[in-house]
Amino acid sequence: MPIDTMLNLFNFLLEPLQFAFMRDALLMGAILGVLCAVTGSYLIVRQMSMIGDVIAHSVVPGLSLAFFWGWDLTLGAFITGLLSAILVAVVEQRSPVKVDAAMSLTLTSFFACGILLIARLRTNQVDLTKLLFGDILEVTPSDVGRTAAITLVILVLVKLFYKELLFYSFDPLGAQASGLPVQWLYLGLISGITLTIVATMQVVGVLLVTALLIGPAITAYLWVKELHQMMVLGGMFGALATVGGMYASYYFDLPSGPAIVLVIFTGFLVTLLFSPRQGLLTQQRRSPPSQR
């Protein structure tokens, strides 16, 4: 590679790092890319991807109430997000209502309640634009530290209870029959997902958080078979995609949240087409002429 090209590449990579807010944003994005891939992998194997969207929209009333009462916003968001997931589980298990209908009604109801509370409690200081689309450029070192702590705790718990969560994720009825505390496993899993969503909202916002939670994991799913491999590869892709989205945002003057999501989606599309194991185009090349 010519020296001029290498210098231009180094300048391209290093220029955003001269700003403290970009360094914080890039570090935050890389951490969340890993965290979202790990928790999102469980959502995919449990076929519960939409529960992430439910929780993301359901944190809005918690944010408004926490702001009104002077609580930490993370605590309020976590409580209402967790309540929404528990409500969906109760409706699914104790009524004839299907889970997709329960999730749809819960999502819209909690979100509407949040908007109503913001209006009635006059907590308009909660910036709806940032709430909906995020603003990673406003993260502080304390935000990064808190997110890193959440990530460390969740990764340690996943490591400790990996076998139990694996069994429960693929065969919940079998896990229950074998004596595993499936209700506590569900609560722990949902708690981890809720914490992940609360931490991620500042990056991509309520409307886009599901893309960061699910996108890297399903991209990795097209490459590997094992859950732990899916987490590792998904974490690598999530971190790279988030950092790539931040660079695109910096150089092309784009909103950071949508830029990150579009980079994730682009990576998924490329994988969907060219993955050696399940790519649409590679499968066509491998199939015999009689099957085309």
| Residue ranges making up the domain that contains 243 | 12-291
Residue 284 CA neighbour count, 13 Å, CB half:
6
Candidate ranges 44-53, 114-123, 245-254; pick with highest mean pLDDT: 245-254
**58 and 113 in contact (C-beta within 8 Å)?**
no
Under 8 Å CB-to-CB from 271, ≥6 apart: which residues?
Answer: 219, 222, 223, 279
Instruction: Give 32-94 as a DSSP string.
Output: HHHHHHHHHHHHHHTT-HHHHHHHHHHHHHHHHHHHHHT--HHHHHHHHHHHHHHHHHHHHHH
124 band by pLDDT with thresholds 50, 70 and 90: low
* 4 inside domain: no
At residue 96, φ and ψ (nearest 5 deg) are -80, 0
| Residue 63, pLDDT score | 84
- pLDDT digits 0-9 by tens, 155-207: 999 999 999 998 988 888 888 888 889 888 888 989 999 888 888 877 777 76
Percent of the chain residues past pLDDT 90, beyond the cut: 27
Count of domains observed in the chain: 1
pLDDT at position 292, please? 45
pTM of the model: 0.83
- 45-54: pLDDT as tens digits: 888 888 888 8
Q: What was the pLDDT predicted at 126?
A: 59
Please say whether the beta carbons of 223 and 37 come within 8 A. Answer: no
Q: What is the CATH number of the domain that holds 114?
A: 1.10.3470.10
Residue with tokens 């994991």: 217
Distance CA 208, CA 258 (A): 7
In a domain, 105, yes or no: yes
Whole-angstrom distance, CA of residue 292 vs CA of residue 289: 5
